[in-house]
């Protein structure tokens, strides 16, 4: 088999890249380790920035997002039982959209099926070869046979645990990492959200987040320890731990119900530099991870794909390598700003330190955020996504 771009991973970055390349007549094949059903069932991101909305439109898969997505013009932050609102609209003129990653994945998969572009699911033992040569290729096992794809470029869109980053020459890659001593325990329920806007909660008992997917489906998160066993979290315990962290109004409005999904995600900051190794380009979680607090992971994946798709389109249309040459630097400049914001928001809202000094500093910073128009503007600019 031969293609122009072999894409490893059918998460949001791989699917979006595939769709944008296809639109510009660039052949691509996606290799995904899991089945399509498995990929669709992973409940993850919920908040998307304008850049992500624009790219989904450009890829021709934005119709359902505009119909079903919920535009949010602000966010609420609850500190020790008192709620404050930060308006994105007033501070930046922009909004974010609540539209689940599962829905985005479905729209992208449907879009790909509609144009007949190939995705090979259940592709095992994916292995990258010749990335530093002009003739790279990928081998894998599917339908019980070892197969090979020759290509011009390989896009490593296979997430944090994928094979692509590990295929980069060790001497050529530098990684930066911070592991936080906590995780998020998340549940999805078919109950109406407590508020029309997201509520990020800072409380002595620990962080909580009240989010949503639709007016009848809620997503809640609780800070938990890394050692937590999900089996020891029956739904009743989740609700009992959430309630005391909320303000009175939210507590009164909280409708509890059975969870339809429950999972634990560890919090981590991670960046691999550079994002290009010869003919291999990394994008999305394959190259970087942010703790979920700033809602940046999927949006960063989309912004990588924006730069990478533009560079590849330019290469094939004009035989120019300029975009490919600058891809890593351009992407990393944006990534580090999102890393900083996600780290800052994580440190601001979680119970991480038992030292009263650290807790006083957190409260002072939050008080400043609510009183200073400049601080609120910086927050809003970062949350809705910095301009290019």
Could you give the dihedral angle defined by the CA atoms of residues 34, 36, 40 and 45, in that order, rounded to the nearest 10 degrees?
50
Could you give the dihedral angle defined by the CA atoms of residues 221, 223, 227 and 231, in that order, rounded to the nearest 10 degrees?
-30
User: Least distance from C-beta 248 to ligand FAD, angstroms?
Assistant: 27
383 is catalytic: yes
Pairing of strands 74-79, 199-202: parallel
User: Least distance from C-beta 221 to ligand FAD, angstroms?
Assistant: 7
Could you give the dihedral angle defined by the CA atoms of residues 61, 67, 69 and 73, in that order, rounded to the nearest 10 degrees?
120
Tokens of 203: 């409380």
40 binds, among ligand FAD, ligand DHB, none (CB under 5 to 8 A by kind): none
Chain residues in the site for ligand FAD (CB under 6 A): 8-14, 31-34, 39, 44-47, 101, 123, 126, 157-159, 161-163, 184, 186, 265, 284-285, 292, 295-299, 301
| Binding flag, residue 112, ligand DHB (CB under 6 A) | no
Beta-bridge partner residues of 129: 137
> Among residues 72, 203, 288, 350, which one is catalytic?
72
Tell me which residues in 143-202 interact with ligand DHB (CB under 6 A). 198
Q: What secondary structure does DSSP assign to 338-377, as a single string?
A: HHHHHHHHHHHHS-----HHHHHHHHHHHHHHHH-HHHHH
288 is catalytic: no
| Binding flag, residue 47, ligand DHB (CB under 6 A) | yes
111 binds, among ligand DHB, ligand FAD, none (CB under 5 to 8 A by kind): none
Query: How many residues make contact with ligand DHB (CB under 6 A)?
Result: 10
Q: Is 3 helix (H, G, I), strand (E, B) or coil?
A: coil
Instruction: Name the residue whose CB lies closest to ligand DHB.
Output: 46
| Binding flag, residue 211, ligand DHB (CB under 6 A) | yes
Tell me how far apart the alpha carbons of residues 308 and 55 are, in angstroms, rounded to a whole number. Answer: 12
124 is catalytic: no
Residues identified as active-site: 72, 200, 292, 296, 383
Question: Given the rule CB under 6 A, which residues bind ligand DHB?
Answer: 45-47, 198, 209, 211, 219, 292-293, 295
């Amino acid at each position: 088999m031969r293609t122009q771009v072999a894409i490893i991973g059918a998460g949001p970055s791989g699917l979006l890249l595939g769709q944008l390349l296809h639109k510009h007549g660039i052949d691509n094949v996606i290799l995904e380790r899991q089945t399509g059903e498995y990929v669709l069932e992973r409940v993850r991101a919920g908040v998307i920035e304008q850049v992500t909305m624009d790219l989904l439109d450009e890829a021709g898969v934005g119709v359902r997002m505009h119909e079903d997505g919920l535009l949010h013009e602000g966010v609420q932050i609850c500190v020790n039982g008192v709620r404050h609102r930060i308006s994105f609209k007033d501070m930046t003129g922009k909004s974010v959209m609540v539209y689940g990653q599962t829905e985005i994945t479905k729209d992208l998969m449907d879009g790909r099926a509609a144009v007949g572009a190939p995705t090979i699911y259940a592709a095992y033992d994916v292995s990258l070869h010749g990335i530093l040569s002009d003739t790279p290729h990928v081998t894998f096992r599917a339908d019980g046979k070892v197969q090979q794809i020759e290509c011009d470029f390989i896009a490593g869109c296979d997430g944090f645990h994928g094979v692509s980053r590990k295929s980069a020459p060790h001497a050529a890659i530098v990684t930066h990492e911070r592991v936080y001593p906590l995780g998020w325990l998340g549940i999805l329920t078919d109950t109406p959200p407590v508020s029309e806007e997201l509520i990020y909660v800072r409380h002595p008992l620990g962080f909580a987040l009240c989010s949503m997917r639709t007016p009848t489906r809620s997503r809640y998160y609780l800070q938990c320890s890394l050692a937590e066993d999900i089996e020891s979290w029956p739904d009743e315990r989740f609700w009992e731990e959430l309630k005391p962290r909320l303000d009175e109004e939210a507590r009164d409005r909280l409708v509890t119900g059975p969870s339809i999904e429950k999972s634990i995600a560890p919090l981590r900051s991670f960046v691999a530099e550079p994002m290009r190794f010869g003919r291999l380009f990394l994008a999305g979680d394959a190259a970087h991870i942010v703790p979920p607090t700033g809602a940046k992971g999927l949006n960063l994946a989309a912004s990588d794909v924006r730069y990478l798709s533009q560079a590849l389109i330019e290469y094939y249309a004009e035989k120019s390598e300029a975009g490919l040459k600058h891809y890593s630097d351009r992407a990393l400049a944006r990534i580090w700003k999102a890393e900083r914001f996600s780290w800052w928001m994580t440190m601001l809202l979680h119970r991480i330190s038992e030292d009263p000094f650290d807790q006083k500093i957190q409260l002072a910073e939050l008080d400043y955020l609510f009183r200073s128009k400049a601080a609120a503007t910086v927050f809003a600019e970062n949350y809705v996504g910095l301009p290019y």
